[in-house]
Structure 1
C-alpha cells in the first residue's frame, strides 16, 4: 500500500469518527441533558468531593480498551460476569452511584435518548470542569 493511499485512508477514518463526536450532540433530542448532568455532578461534589475524581477514572477505564462503550456498568447475569464485579475492577472503581444518579435524572427528562457511554463522558467532562 502506498504511503499516500495510507494517509488518505487514515483521513477518511478520522473524518468519519470525528463526525459523530461534537459538542451539544443532544441539543435537539434532549436539550436538558447537559444541564441535568451538571446538576447531578454539582450535588455529587457537595456530597463527596472525591466522587468526581472517581467518575473521571471511570471514563479512562471505559475508553482505554476498544473505545468507550459503558461496559463498566454491566451487572452480572446468569450467563455472564459483568465488569462491575470483574477482578480488575472490584475494589478499584468507585462512584457507580453517581453515574446511576445521572442516568436516572436523564431518563426522567428524556427516556431512552442518552447512551450510557455518553453519560460517562458527559459526567467526566463536568467533573473536570467542576474540580
Structure 2
C-alpha cells in the first residue's frame, strides 16, 4: 500500500507541504505505529521532532501546525456581552489551534491568557 514518507529532512516545528513528502509502497503489517496513506493527511501539520529524509511518517511524529510563534505580533480579539474589542499583542509562547497561551498586550503592557483561534489571532479568555 502507498504510505507517506519524508522526501526531505523535516526539522522540529516545521510545517509540512506537499513538496516535503512522497508516497512509497510499504507492507503495512510492519507499520505498527500507524501511517498516512494520502499526502493531504499530513499537509499543514508540523513535525514534533526532527524527521530523517526517507523516514515513514506516523501520527506519533506529527502534530497540528503552530499558528502563533513566540515573539510574534498577534491580534487580540475580545468579545463580551456583544461588545467587541481588538488590540495588538506579543505571543509569549508557541500555540496551535485551541491552545491557551500567554500574550502581552502591547497597549496596556498587561499579560493575559488567550486562546489561539487562527494564524496570528488569539481571543482573550476572561477569567
Which TM-score applies when normalising by structure 1?
Answer: 0.23
Query: Which of the pair has more CA radius of gyration?
Result: 2
Higher RCO (C-alpha under 8 Å, 6+ residues apart): 1
Report the structure, 1 or 2, having the larger helix content.
Answer: 1
